[in-house]
Amino acid sequence: MMKIEAMIRPQKLEAVLEAVHELQLTGMTVTEVRGMGRQRGITYTYRGSQYTTPLSHKVKIELVVNDEMVEDAVRAIQEAAGTGEVGDGKIFLVPVADAIRIRNGERGEPAIS
């Protein structure tokens, strides 16, 4: 089992949700985050003083999938979230030891399908 963690542009979330849906993956968790990367940060003006933060708004998505689904999912996310411009984000693959469905205690692959 593998957790796919991707930081994407907020406005791409919709497209990613659709792409994931098409792969018949039914589970996913979304978090609002701010990210630092190659992308230029934001300069805020406050009554004459200016302050630059390297952080821009991103969305983090997390999906735990079976090992055989990893490559498909990565490709789908990459296609849906990409614009080709700096700031598109990253996908990380994090190994997962086990999964449990809270509702009924199912474990392992059945828990995430």
Partner 1 sequence: MKQVRWALAGALLFFGPMARAQGSDTPPTADLVWVALSAVLVLLMTPALAMFYGGMVRRINVLSTMMHSFIAMGVISIVWLALGYSLAFGAAGSGWIGDFSRTMGNGISTSEPAASGGSSALFMLFQMMFAIITPALISGAIAERMKFGSYVAFIALWSLVVYSPVACWVWNADGWLFKHGALDFAGGTVVHLASGVAALAAAIVLGKRRALIHREPIPPNNLTMTLVGAGLLWFGWIGFNAGSALAMNGVAINAFISTHMAAAAGMIGWLIVERIKTGKATALGAASGLVGGLVGITPGAGFVAPVGAVAVGLLTGAACYLAIGLKNKLGYDDSLDVVGVHGAGGLLGAVLTGVFASEAANPAVKDALAGGRMELVVKQVVAVGAVGVYSFLITMGLLLALKAMGGIRASAEQEDAGLDETMHGEAGYNLY
Interface map 13-52 toward partner 1 (x if CB under 8 A): -xx----------------x---------xxxxxxxxxx-
Residue 100 near residue 107, CB atoms below 8 Å: yes
Interaction of residue 63 with ligand ADP, rule CB under 6 A:
yes
Binding of a copy of itself at residue 105 (CB under 8 A)? yes
Phi-psi region of 84 (alpha: psi -120 to 50; beta: other; left: phi over 0): left
Closest to 51 (Cα-Cα) out of 41, 60, 61:
41
Site string for a copy of itself, 57-76 (x = CB under 8 A): -x-x---x---------x--
Q: According to the binding rule CB under 6 A, does residue 90 interact with ligand ADP?
A: yes
CB atoms inside a 10 Å sphere around CB 48: 5
Q: The tokens 């997962």 sit on which residue?
A: 96
CB of 83 to partner 1, least distance (A): 9
Length of the chain: 113
- 82 touches ligand ADP (CB under 6 A): no
Q: Which is nearer to ligand ADP, 39 or 78 (CB)?
A: 39
Q: Which two tokens stand for residue 112?
A: 């995430």
Q: Which residues bind partner 1 (CB under 8 A)?
A: 9, 11, 14-15, 32, 42-51, 53, 56-57
